[in-house]
Amino acid sequence: MKVAIYARYSSDNQRDASIADQFRMCRLHAEKQGWQIVEEYSDHAISGSSLLRPGIQALISDATRGRFNLILAEAMDRLSRDQEDIAGLFKRMSYSGVKMFTLSEGEVSHLHVGLKGTMNALFLKDLADKTRRGQRGRVEAGKSGGGNSYGYDVVKKLDANGEPIRGHRTINEAQAEVVRRIFRDYAAGKSAKTIAFSLNRDGIAAPSGGDWGFSTINGNPKRGNGILNNEMYVGKIVWNRQRFVKDPDTGKRQARPNPESEWVIQEAPELRILDDDLWNAVKARQGENRTERDESGIADVRKMNHRRRPKYLFSGLTKCACCGGGYSAISATLIGCSTARNKGTCDNRVNIRRDELEARVLNALRTKLVDPEMFARFCEVFTQEMNRLRMEGRAGIASAEAEIEKTERELAKLLTAIKAGGPIEAIVEDMKRLEARKSELRTFLAEAEEPPPLLHPSMALQYRKRVQQLYEALQDEEEEKRIEAADILRSLVDQIVLTPVDGKVEIDVQGDLAGILMISAQTKNPAGGRGGSQVKMVAGARNYRYRHSLEVTI
């Protein structure tokens, strides 16, 4: 019996030794049963309410590949506490022919899944209720009910029994001064983006430890997050603004706002950083920004964030050569460096019209990315390399075929020796060895692959023809054809690097060789046809030399 052991702990009161203890107990049981342990999987400090755990995912993946016959754990709740998840895991393992066994329940059956799954689900609900009860008690006592906020330090205290007392905070004066600076600048009319630039320029670390962005400052007023919306800065703790529910499809938590009547608000004057006048001035300006536009005529940043922006043809493929960040829309027609615009840590301020970028890249795809002369030279070198691989491959195949013939002759001699009354045991051992070798050689010959097929220089011309057809399809009135053509064209591009040069943008189009060859090999029905088997071998693992991108500057 091949066995995989799984261990997990999630509580702050537990530690890594808990994993070691679970492994030790499971190993002892496996040894007593005479089972072979093939792998051990674990998840450290991760809740069992979801299967989005690296250890359990690796276990499931290996189980479906037949690496072991049985999963051994301390108890069912180590595998999952979610009723639906444990039932799904049991169903999947049953399909794969893998049994589940725990030290607490023994071999897991449908009855265990039903009863124990329900008990674990009730345990999670009870734990959540107790946690929220404890958080509410801390808030009503004037303490923090959750994580720490920028501007404060966590105060670590222990009670008489040595247990941690949670929720105590004290003002971090250095960070508090940064908070005051942000509020003063915003009240004076500066935008969140300008404030973020200034903080980054002065080398002040953001709450995350990295660079400041305008969203860190603006946040979301409805949810009460972001520097400008944290009421703790005026000595007020607000708890239960929102609740979290688990998405049944992804297993991830999603925030849901609670009605204001359910909020718990507690005064904490010792945590006040700002005076009421400054706080009210910022709130008044935020209210104006929600309904008015600034002098440039651009809508407030938060309103723009809520508006769905159209994606352009090469969305997500454009990169800034200066910082490596992406290019994004800064208006209806222009795109620019996102890092320069949002954080101010990049000096690239050169923008480009979206339609100009698309036209130049499409022109490069049609005319410059695969030059016929360069492609012909590539095919020549490629052919030489393939011929070398063919010679090496044929040499190995010929050698294997010759060794098989030699092995068969030796087997025939041994058979003759047996008939002549030779030492049977020694002869049988030699025959077994030769039969095993012959089996290895036949397996080698059966799996030996021919090198990739040769390319012809005319593929470059065929590529241009195919891209031209796709370009024309972009102009088609039928939306489905336009989307189809756009997807194929995007597949030809690894990335588009934009470099500012003398106030203009230089564009480096880096194309995927495999995609280019696939387009070249398809002569009909670009979306529905395939013809990819030839190209897959060209870009396969046996020929890494040609897996690089093709690049052209336009």
| pLDDT tens digits, 448-490 | 655 555 555 566 666 667 777 777 777 776 777 777 777 777 7
Would you say residue 541 has pLDDT above 70? no
pLDDT at 546: 34
CB atoms near residue 264 (< 10 Å): 15
Q: Which residue has the higher pLDDT, 459 or 109?
A: 109
What is the average pLDDT across 53-69?
90
d(CA 385, CA 256): 60
- Which backbone phi and psi does 10 adopt, to 5 degrees? -135, -25
Residue pair 189/288 in contact by the 8 Å Cβ criterion: no
Average pLDDT, the chain: 75
Pick the range with the lowest mean pLDDT from 32-36, 272-276, 354-358, 460-464. Answer: 460-464
Q: Helix H segments across 16-82?
A: 16-33, 54-64, 76-79
What is the average pLDDT across 515-543?
40
pLDDT at 305: 44
**Cross-strand bridge partners of residue 42:** 7
Beta-carbon contacts of residue 113 (< 8 Å; ≥ 6 apart)? 86, 87, 90
d(CA 334, CA 298): 13
What is the average pLDDT across 27-42?
93
Would you say residue 544 has pLDDT above 60? no
pLDDT at 304: 41
pLDDT at 179: 92
pLDDT at 4: 95
Would you say residue 530 has pLDDT above 50? no
pLDDT at 528: 39
What is the average pLDDT across 44-56?
78
Would you say residue 121 has pLDDT above 70? no
Pick the range with the lowest mean pLDDT from 69-83, 162-176, 279-293, 366-380. Answer: 366-380
Distance of CA 128 to the CA centre of its chain: 28
Q: How confident is the model at residue 178 (pLDDT cuts 50, 70, 90)?
A: very high
pLDDT at 433: 84
pLDDT at 532: 32
Would you say residue 268 has pLDDT above 70? yes
Q: Which residue carries 């609740």 as its tokens?
A: 243
| pLDDT tens digits, 407-435 | 888 888 877 777 777 777 777 788 888 88
What is the average pLDDT across 34-45?
90
Burial 187-209 (b: 16+ CB within 10 A, else e): beeebbbebbbbbbeeeeebeee
Specify the 3-state DSSP secondary structure of 502: coil
**Cross-strand bridge partners of residue 462:** none
Residue pair 169/146 in contact by the 8 Å Cβ criterion: no
Q: How confident is the model at residue 533 (pLDDT cuts 50, 70, 90)?
A: very low
Would you say residue 81 has pLDDT above 80? no
pLDDT at 100: 94
Give, in order, the Cα–Cα distances in Å from 113 to each of 1, 16, 90.
Answer: 23, 27, 8
pLDDT at 135: 58
pLDDT at 213: 85
Letter for the amino acid at 413?
A: K
* Selection from 173, 167, 177 nearest residue 146 by Cα: 167
| pLDDT tens digits, 273-327 | 899 889 898 888 888 776 554 444 444 444 444 444 346 778 778 889 998 888 8
Percent of the chain scored above 70 by pLDDT? 67
Q: Which residue has the higher pLDDT, 538 or 262?
A: 262
DSSP for residue 298? P
**Strand-pair category, 334-337 with 352-353:** antiparallel
Would you say residue 526 has pLDDT above 60? no
Would you say residue 377 has pLDDT above 80? no
